[in-house]
Amino acid sequence: MSELIAINAYENIPAQYRQTPVGLLLEYHNLSRNLETYTSAQLLIGMCMDNRKHLRIPDNFAYIIRSGGANLRFSEFKVSYAIGVGKVSHIALIGHNNCAMVNLAARRNDFIEGLTVVAGWSPEKAEEHFLQYAPLFEIGNETDFILSEAIRLRLRYPKVTVAPILYRVEDNRLYLISEN
């Protein structure tokens, strides 16, 4: 597993992120920097749809795309929009520990039962849906996936800075994922 870099002081922020929108995100969320006023987004945040995560950031500071596992593969037009029209040049890719997109096979029965009971689907239709889409959304290990997704996005958008970050749900803090 990759090493996590705790951000408990400004000095913990690596030089390449200081005085950038990524550094500001870390300062706002982890270091309680006073919230400033923004009229346009400074960065794109790609993060998981999990309801346990909430960021402390100013209004209008960021575009935010929430997707299971922080998987942006199926949100590329939205990413391109934030870059092309919104002119953001930084992406904070935020996964989190204890992500439900890890080991989806273990949630197969709950998935099928939930769609049957809550949505009124037939068990067969729910199972078919699971089998069709679970392989596309399974992320494996959270930190490894975030690192691989950061690399993919850097190749796709070579002039955009992409920072791999992990949100720890037990302490509600952001940690940079070491790429060494």
In tens, the pLDDT along 136-154 reads 999 989 999 999 999 999 9
Would you place residue 2 in the very low, low, confident or very high pLDDT band (cuts 50, 70, 90)? confident
Copy the structure tokens of residue 97: 């520990």
83 and 169 both lie in a single domain: yes
Same-domain check for residues 46 and 93: yes
Q: Distance between CA 143 and CA 73 in Å, rounded?
A: 16
Q: Is 154 left (phi over 0), alpha (psi -120 to 50) or beta?
A: alpha
Based on the structure, what is the number of domains in the chain? 2
Q: State residue 1's pLDDT score.
A: 55
Q: Among the listed ranges 29-33, 42-46, 97-101, which one has the minimum average pLDDT value? A: 97-101
Distance from C-alpha of 172 to C-alpha of 162, rounded to nearest angstrom: 21
In the chain, count H helices and then E strands.
5, 6
Segment 122-138 shows an average pLDDT of 95
Does residue 42 register a pLDDT over 70? yes
Check whether residue 152 and residue 114 sit in a common domain.
no
**Same domain assignment for residues 73 and 35:** yes
Phi, psi of 65 (to 5 degrees): -115, 120
Mean pLDDT of 32-61: 96
**Does 8 share its domain with 95?**
yes
Domain of 113, in residue numbers: 103-138
- Same domain for 96 and 44? yes
pLDDT for residue 174 is more than 90? yes
25 and 45 Cβ atoms separated by less than 8 Å: yes
Q: What is the DSSP string of 9-49?
A: SGGGS-TTTTTSHHHHHHHHHHH-PPPPP-SS--EEEEE--
> Is the separation of the CB atoms in 93 and 163 below 8 Å?
yes
Does residue 47 sit in the same domain as residue 12? yes
Same domain, 66 and 150: yes
On average, the pLDDT of the chain sits at: 96
pLDDT, average across residues 56-68: 97
pLDDT tens digit sequence for 70-86: 999 999 999 999 999 99
CA separation, residue 172 to residues 8, 46, 67, 131, 178 (Å) = 13, 17, 19, 33, 19
Judgement on whether residues 17 and 66 belong to the same structural domain of the protein: yes
- Report whether 41 contacts 60 (CB < 8 A): yes
Same domain, 63 and 113: no
pLDDT reported for residue 19? 97
Q: What is the CATH number of the domain that holds 46?
A: 3.40.1050.10
23 and 64, same domain (yes or no): yes
Claim to verify: residue 64 and residue 15 sit in the same structural domain:
yes
Mean pLDDT over residues 162-175, rounded?
97
